[in-house]
Amino acid sequence: MSAFRKLKALALGQNTDIDLTAAQLQSAAIPVSDAPCRGCADPCDEGKNPQPRSGHDEYPKFDVDMETEMLGSREWEWDAEARAQIVISTGKSDWVREVTDAKGTLAAYVDELSSSGRPPKDKDSKKPKDKGAAPGPGAAAPTANGGSAAHVPGVHDSANLAKHKKVTILNGSHRTVCHDDEKETVLVFPDYKVVTEVDRSHEGAEQLWNHAVSPHVDLHAVPEGATTVRSWVIPYSCVILLCSHKRRDNRCAIAAPKLQHALTVALEREGWEVHTQPDDPSIHGPALEELSGTEDEKQAAVLEKLKEVHPTVAQEKRALILFCSHIGGHKYAGNVIINTPRGVSVWYGRVTPHEVDAIVKETIIGGKILPALLRGGLNLCYPGHKSLNDW
**297 domain-assigned:** yes
**261 domain-assigned:** yes
- C-alpha 147/C-alpha 135 separation (Å) is 15
- C-alpha 389/C-alpha 386 separation (Å) is 9
The answer to whether the beta carbons of residues 376 and 154 sit under 8 Å apart is yes
Phi, psi of 349 (to 5 degrees): -135, 170
**387 domain-assigned:** no
Helix, strand, coil abundance in the chain, percent, nearest 5: 30, 20, 55
Give the pLDDT band (50/70/90) at residue 389.
Answer: very high
- C-alpha 143/C-alpha 291 separation (Å) is 28
pLDDT in tens, 263-277: 999 999 999 999 999
Q: Which residues contact 289 (CB under 8 A, 6 or more apart)?
A: 223, 227, 230, 231
- Structure confidence at residue 81 (pLDDT): 58
Nearest to 312 by CA among 238, 213, 254: 238
Provide the 8-state DSSP code for 111.
H
Q: Which residues contact 142 (CB under 8 A, 6 or more apart)?
A: 148, 157, 159, 160
**265 domain-assigned:** yes
State the distance between the two ends of the chain, measured CA to CA, in whole angstroms.
41
- Structure confidence at residue 126 (pLDDT): 38
- C-alpha 70/C-alpha 154 separation (Å) is 9
Give me the half-sphere count of Cα atoms (radius 13 Å) on the Cβ side of residue 256: 26
Give the pLDDT band (50/70/90) at residue 122.
Answer: very low
The partner residues of 86 in beta bridges, in order of sequence, read 169, 188
Phi-psi sector, 343: left (phi>0), alpha (psi -120 to 50), beta: left
pLDDT in tens, 163-211: 677 889 999 999 999 999 999 999 999 999 999 999 999 999 999 999 8
Beta strands (DSSP E) in 106-202 are: 140-142, 148-150, 155-156, 166-172, 183-189, 193-199
Give the pLDDT band (50/70/90) at residue 333.
Answer: very high
**127 domain-assigned:** no
- Structure confidence at residue 120 (pLDDT): 45
In angstroms and rounded to an integer, the radius of gyration of the C-alpha atoms of the chain is: 20
**24 domain-assigned:** yes
**Residues 233-257, buried b or exposed e (16+ Cβ, 10 A)?**
bbbbbbbbbbbbbeebbebbbbbbe
**305 domain-assigned:** yes
The partner residues of 88 in beta bridges, in order of sequence, read 171, 186
The answer to whether the beta carbons of residues 69 and 9 sit under 8 Å apart is yes
Give the pLDDT band (50/70/90) at residue 146.
Answer: low
**351 domain-assigned:** yes
- C-alpha 214/C-alpha 18 separation (Å) is 37
Q: How many domains does the chain have?
A: 1
User: If residue 181 lies in a helix (H) or strand (E), which one and from where to where?
Assistant: none
Enclosing domain of residue 200: 3-120+136-378
Q: Is the pLDDT of residue 215 over 50?
A: yes
